[in-house]
Structure 1
Amino acid sequence: MPRQRRPFAIAPTRRDVLFGLGAGLGSVALSALLADDRARAGARSPAESPLAEKPSHHAPRAKACIVLLMEGGPSHIDTFDPKPRLHDLHLAEFVRSGEEQSAMSSGTRYYVASPFTFRKAGACGADMATDWEHLAGVADELCFYRGLQAESVNHPTALSHINTGNRFGGDPAVGSWVTYGLGSENQDLPGFVVLPQLSDPQGGPANWGNGFLPAAYQGTPLRAEGSPILDLSPPEGITPEHQRANLDLLAALNQSHLEQAFPADRDELAARVASYELAFRMQATVPELLDLAGEDPRTLDLYGVGQADTDDLGRKCLMARRLVERGVRFVQLYHGTWDSHDDIARAHRSLIRGVDRPLAALVTDLKRRGLLDETLLLWCGEFGRSPDNGVRGGVAYGRDHNARAMPVWLAGGGVKAGATVGATDELGVEAVACVHPIRDLHLTLLHLLGLDDNALTYAHAGRFKQLSQFGGAVIRDVIA
């Protein structure tokens, strides 16, 4: 008879273990958590923690990374890559091949000139739509990259690709690879934190999942509404001593179960045990992290906190700065949707108004605190948009998806400041200079963080796997 698997009876599910960060951990489970676990006899030393700091493969240019993901796909033609030639072809018919069309494509399509005006910003003369009032002020810190190409025009597969390197899901997120390779500078906080929107991006939490890596490396989402972390405080009457005793008992039971479990079960159980200990420590460290009241009013105003258009992203950008300041290795925040199939002028103008001030503030704030040189910023979507719009009554009303040209800018962390690298063709249809696929962008992020994609591997399903899946090239042109 086949050997029976032991039931997974002691630890709760992984969704519950993530101490309420987006998934919700009940107060009963969290009543076992608080204060400093290093005082517990027999506790793991920091060196044994899966998030303990690890040496890089080579000298890093950046210690941390913040990814500013504009979900939905911003239009390069209407933000940072002007195409005057479109004015000559305005309302001329445009034909796309079947593989380039998204599910939203229908009817006759027409070339449409951008409704936005452009200017040269900063001493570097970066091309920016005039709606970018605040970001133009930090143009000399940015590196605009125009050569990136995606491989899908569908949101779920494109988001999976930009986040994990795999269009079809199941692989670890970039942040998971980074924390697997480097660990975290702060053992009292997760190494990979996600700041999502009210609704999950298409593809859901798999966008920040650990895939086949150990569960400790998955992203930890902070809730976008209400308390970022549920049940952060213990129930009334529960003291730190009670919590420590409860946690010690739970650890002893889990250790006994771990010793008897099949090898395939041990990683997940060990991650669950570690998450309890991390949540215990977080009750002492997170309240101060989440409390923005201690920030200077001028800093809050810089980010647009408390202002209708900018409060949402302003808080996320400020939180991202506070997280990397405290040693969190990888932070990803979401803002959207930039899927402007209707009225590109109205939709993108509103979106730019909501992100312009917070993005500029993040660059400014990191620089004045001496953190920009060691913090790598990446602004991107999952693809770009096409130079054609549908037209109603002679009026353009939106842009379609475009995988062959997508806007990206980087800042800090060893990239060229005040540079524009690569180019798209005169109509913005596709990248034509310094062209690279998304996997090369991923390799570049790893390289700047001191990691070598070929050395950052994990044995799974009979072979050693890596972020790029089958290798690639660092985009040297964007590196200072």
Structure 2
Amino acid sequence: MNNIDRINDHLNRREFLRKSGMGLGALALGSLLNPTSASAISGGSSRGGILGSPHFTPKAKRVIYLFQSGGPSQFETFDYKPLLEKMNGEELPESVRKGQRLTGMSAGQSSLPLAGSQFKFARHGQSGQWVSELMPYTAQIVDDLCFIKSMHTEAINHDPAITFFQTGSQQPGRPSIGAWLSYGLGSDNENLPEFIVLVSKNAGGQPLYARLWGNAFLPSQHQGVQFRSGKDPVLFLNDPNGFHHKDRAQMLDYLNQLNRLQHDTYGDPEILSRIAQYEMAYRMQTSVPEVTDLSNEPDWVYDLYGPDSRIPGTYAANCLLARRLIERDVKFVQLYHQGWDQHLNLPGGIQNQCRNTDQASAALVQDLKQRGLLEDTLVVWGGEFGRTNYSQGKLTKTNYGRDHHPRCFTMWMAGGGVKPGFSYGETDEFGYNIVKDPVHVYDFLATMLHLLGIDHERLTFKHQGRRYRLTDVEGHLVKSIIA
């Protein structure tokens, strides 16, 4: 008799009946409170999604989300407004602002002087998309991109705005996009997490929080796993000194038996998540070192992504790593690159940001395309809001800044079933308000889920008496951008 049997044998008849009743009761109650948990408890695959299969045939199988944290200025990148150059230094007309709120950082200014971009724009590609000179590499792939120039949000400050994009709520406590996809669709790779997060090192800017890739009230196995640069891409994954790999296998075997005894007693579905996470961690001991070792990439790939791709943890290296993860069927890869918050000294600051990201972003799209992966991989580029058309602080011939602007901004998407070489939505000639085809954050999220074969109204989770979803009670499919 092994130790596990001894522990189990210590239960006398009365205690066994009492605890079994509690377990069956918890199981029944759990199935009533959350019907989806019953399938997991009854032996459903820990790697399969709750949907079983998509609601309809997906155009995209996986997503790479290049989140540009801080709010990139649309006026220096993709939304060309020559009127601002013509009226540079003149006061923003009240007829354009219409009394809309400002942040506390510019509300006290005595004037709001319009600021034209200091950087030149030109049309590129057969589609004739306007792109700034700051984005020469992105300019080369515009015929693969679908621009949305009419994005808007309610959030005017960083934390709620980023939280909104990543979880569908301005308030913390909701599951992130990747967690929802993991929960709904499961994984196509048994040896890597379905949701992986990469954060550029030493980028500076507004802080990021682990809750942005958290699972909230979904089972914990669906939270994002952050890969770090350096010796240990995943913390606590390697065996301690003096501890053999076989020792860990034996330890996990006994631990799983204990966890299953606990689950049989109490019926808590989170115990199954814990078992799945331990098993995944064991498999990752082999899979993670292999996928994060970029040394076998040929020189032409490094040349494509740029010199920074040879430096672990940079945005370029993370873009290259994202491609490797996608090749191994990871469902959702989230990149975060901070530093786009140029309230002051915008010209110099945004030049550095574009220099650090432009080549790698374009290279990722090109690399996926040449490998036949872009067709069913959705790539998203964008931040949490845009920037004002007026200068925050003093406007000079060589310097200006821009405040937060949630009313309109630009994002782009590529592959995964969106129209290539296409521009959707339009802002007014001042770039302050949307005049055609607005796209709200909820619309963006609903459309992303649709491209993955999910009806956003039907992927739900019951929590505290209410059914939650990524798009809350809103969101409309933007059909015009779908190929």
Query: What is the one-letter code of the residue matched to 2:475?
Result: G
User: In 1, distance between residues paired with 2:231 and 2:246?
Assistant: 29
Relative to structure 2, which stretch is displaced further, 138-147 or 101-110? 101-110
- Pair 1:399-2:396 in alignment: no
Pair 307,287 (structure 1): closer, same or farther in 2 beyond 3 Å: closer
State whether residues 428 and 435 of structure 2, in contact with CA within 8 Å, keep that contact through their aligned partners in structure 1. yes
State whether residues 115 and 395 of structure 2, in contact with CA within 8 Å, keep that contact through their aligned partners in structure 1. no
C-alpha root-mean-square deviation of aligned residues, in Å?
2.3
Structure 2 residue aligned with 1:129: 132
Structure 2 residue aligned with 1:25: none
User: In 1, distance between residues paired with 2:276 and 2:77?
Assistant: 44
Pair 46,421 (structure 1): closer, same or farther in 2 beyond 3 Å: farther
SS in 2 for 1:170: coil
Structure 1 residue aligned with 2:456: 453
Which one of 307, 331, 334 corresponds to residue 333 of structure 2?
331
SS in 2 for 1:100: coil
State whether residues 197 and 225 of structure 2, in contact with CA within 8 Å, keep that contact through their aligned partners in structure 1. yes
State whether residues 67 and 331 of structure 1, in contact with CA within 8 Å, keep that contact through their aligned partners in structure 2. yes
Pair 311,285 (structure 1): closer, same or farther in 2 beyond 3 Å: closer
The TM-score, its normalising length taken from structure 2, stands at 0.85
Query: What is the one-letter code of the residue matched to 2:188?
Result: E
Structure 1 residue aligned with 2:46: 49
- Pair 1:303-2:305 in alignment: yes
Which one of 235, 241, 256 corresponds to residue 261 of structure 2?
256
After TM superposition, list the pairs within 5 Å mapping 1:205-224 onto structure 2.
205-224=210-229
SS in 2 for 1:143: strand
Shift of 1:116: 1.1
Structure 2 residues without counterparts, runs of 5 or longer? 1-18, 20-40
User: In 2, distance between residues paired with 1:379 and 1:400?
Assistant: 20
Which one of 79, 82, 85 corresponds to residue 84 of structure 1?
82
Shift of 1:206: 1.2
After TM superposition, list the pairs within 5 Å mapping 1:334-373 onto structure 2.
334-373=336-375
Structure with greater helix percent: 2
Which one of 279, 282, 285 corresponds to residue 283 of structure 1?
285
Shift of 1:393: 6.7
State whether residues 205 and 338 of structure 2, in contact with CA within 8 Å, keep that contact through their aligned partners in structure 1. no
State whether residues 155 and 202 of structure 1, in contact with CA within 8 Å, keep that contact through their aligned partners in structure 2. no
Pair 333,203 (structure 1): closer, same or farther in 2 beyond 3 Å: closer
User: In 2, distance between residues paired with 1:336 and 1:188?
Assistant: 30
State whether residues 310 and 317 of structure 2, in contact with CA within 8 Å, keep that contact through their aligned partners in structure 1. no
State whether residues 100 and 153 of structure 1, in contact with CA within 8 Å, keep that contact through their aligned partners in structure 2. no
Shift of 1:267: 3.2
Pair 166,257 (structure 1): closer, same or farther in 2 beyond 3 Å: same
Structure 1 residue aligned with 2:152: 149
Query: What is the one-letter code of the residue matched to 2:72?
Result: P
Q: Structure 1, residues 263-282: CA drift from partner, whole Å, max 9, x if none?
A: 5xx23332222111000001
SS in 2 for 1:413: coil
- Pair 1:227-2:245 in alignment: no
Which one of 454, 462, 465 corresponds to residue 462 of structure 1?
465
State whether residues 91 and 112 of structure 1, in contact with CA within 8 Å, keep that contact through their aligned partners in structure 2. yes
Which one of 233, 242, 245 corresponds to residue 240 of structure 1?
245
State whether residues 310 and 355 of structure 1, in contact with CA within 8 Å, keep that contact through their aligned partners in structure 2. no
User: In 2, distance between residues paired with 1:134 and 1:310?
Assistant: 22
Report sequence identity in percent: 39
Pair 430,226 (structure 1): closer, same or farther in 2 beyond 3 Å: farther
State whether residues 310 and 353 of structure 1, in contact with CA within 8 Å, keep that contact through their aligned partners in structure 2. no
After TM superposition, list the pairs within 5 Å mapping 1:98-117 onto structure 2.
100-105=101-106, 106-107=108-109, 108-117=111-120
Relative to structure 2, which stretch is displaced further, 149-158 or 97-106? 97-106
Shift of 1:51: 4.3
